[in-house]
A and B are shown apart, each in its own frame.
Chain A
Amino acid sequence: MKTYKYLLMAAALTLFFCGQALAHKVNLFAYVESGKIYTESYFPDGRPVVSGKIKVYDSANQLLLEGVTDPEGRFNFTIPKADDLTIIVEASMGHKNSFKLKKAEVEAGK
């Protein structure tokens, strides 16, 4: 009887986590304006990714800076380098996405 209950619980948990993973696809959008890079992290329905970890890498895959998204899913910083930049957001439960800013876009926003 007990095993049966555990099995049910496991099944319920699996379903719960599957659902979460699907509904919680994380997105990151970044743009450059007046010398700053603005990032916005959000779920598909528009809710912000709160306290998501942001990492910014250059074209040689060197970590340039890190940050945390605010309650509106935003994190902004001054242009660290005129280069192809890869910005990564990591939300809880390992949900992750990245956004690439091309060198030309970075330079255009200086």
Chain B
Amino acid sequence: MQKSPFILVCLFASLLSLNAGPVWAHFGTIIPSHDIITQYDDKHLNLQIKFIHPMEMQYMEMAKPKRFGVIQGGKAQDLLATLKSTKGKAADQQESFTFWSAEYTIHRPGDYTFFVEPAPYWEPAEDLFIVHYTKVCVHALGLEAGWDQPVGLETEIVPLTRPYGLWTGNLFTGQVLLKGRPVPGAEVEVEYLNESPDNRSIVHAPSDPFVTQVVKADGNGIFSYAMPRSGWWGFAALSQAGWKLQHDGQDKGVEIGAVFWVRTVDMK
């Protein structure tokens, strides 16, 4: 029964490497160049759509989304044709990955909820597909109307806190919907976007549980989280889809995420 220490070391190392990947949470992102447009601002927005690990700043390859649009004043507008592919990577990533960028001009007062439905992403490490329905709300010209309305996605977070004009430390409350119905006990992952333009220095997590915060929703699918730093915060509520997708001729499960992004600003 004598085992060589070499084999033990190999075993240990392979276990470590197995554990290294999946701890990071995937997040769909839509980050606009502004979250509030006043009459003194340029009415032009740039939106960047990515699939990343926000805290670790790792990019994943993103195929062209299935849907990309905006709802304002109850009307939806298809913006899929405005998407342009571009490349990006974290400082410590070897290769670049595709993400998407769009330009949009605000013409009227109101709340603009941008939404994206990505193409399913195959994640071999988890043996499933991931589809993150992602939203962000941009407020324009003082008319605070529309932010609390659902878009009608398969799953989505509907904010109960007005999702703009948030101070650092504010509590964000939202409701998780799946096919328009609240998800009791939904698990919501929360991450800070380390590449936020207003982030003064990269945040390093002292250990893995700090990377992704986890909160559970109550019986009505309602969750809250207080955001401790200025910049962009992502909330991802994950469910299993009732449908399967094929990978290499086999039916595979699909993780569907409802993602919402908000920005906080320090009180000065």
A residues in contact (CB < 8 Å) with B: 25, 27, 29, 31, 40, 42, 44-46, 99-100
A2 smallest CB distance to B (angstroms): 43
Candidates B107, B142, B143; contact of A31 at CB < 8 Å: B107
Given A27-B141, A27-B142, check contact A42 B39 (CB 8 Å).
no
Residues of B within 8 A of A29 (CB): 39, 108-109, 141-143
User: How many pairs of A and B residues are in contact by the CB < 8 Å rule?
Assistant: 27
**Cβ B145 vs Cβ A45 within 8 A:** yes
Main SS at interface, chain A: strand
Candidates B39, B108, B145; contact of A46 at CB < 8 Å: B145
Given A99-B39, A100-B39, check contact A27 B145 (CB 8 Å).
no
The proximity string for B residues 115-138 relative to A, scoring 1 for CB distances below 8 Å and 0 otherwise, is 000000000000000000000000
B237 smallest CB distance to A (angstroms): 28
Tell me whether B144 is interfacial, beta carbon within 8 Å.
Answer: yes
Residues of B within 8 A of A40 (CB): 109
The proximity string for B residues 132-159 relative to A, scoring 1 for CB distances below 8 Å and 0 otherwise, is 0000000001111100000000000000
A45 and B39 alpha carbons, distance in the complex (Å): 18
Q: B residues 196-219 with Cβ under 8 Å of A?
A: none
Residues of A within 8 A of B109 (CB): 27, 29, 40, 42
Residues of B within 8 A of A25 (CB): 142
Q: List 16 A-B contacts (CB under 8 A).
A: A27-B109, A27-B142, A27-B143, A29-B39, A29-B108, A29-B109, A29-B142, A29-B143, A31-B107, A40-B109, A42-B143, A44-B142, A44-B144, A45-B144, A45-B145, A99-B39
A107 and B179 alpha carbons, distance in the complex (Å): 48
Give B107's nearest chain A residue, CB to CB.
A31
Known: A27-B109, A27-B142, A45-B145. 11 other contacts (CB 8 A): A27-B141, A27-B143, A29-B39, A31-B108, A42-B109, A42-B142, A44-B142, A44-B143, A46-B143, A46-B145, A99-B39
Give A46's nearest chain B residue, CB to CB.
B145
Residues of B within 8 A of A31 (CB): 107-108
Give A99's nearest chain B residue, CB to CB.
B39
A46 and B142 alpha carbons, distance in the complex (Å): 9
A46 and B143 alpha carbons, distance in the complex (Å): 6
A29 and B107 alpha carbons, distance in the complex (Å): 10
Give B146's nearest chain A residue, CB to CB.
A46
B72 smallest CB distance to A (angstroms): 12
A77 and B145 alpha carbons, distance in the complex (Å): 27
Residues of B within 8 A of A45 (CB): 144-145
B66 smallest CB distance to A (angstroms): 32
The proximity string for B residues 88-115 relative to A, scoring 1 for CB distances below 8 Å and 0 otherwise, is 0000000000000000000111000000
Residues of A within 8 A of B144 (CB): 44-46
Give A31's nearest chain B residue, CB to CB.
B107
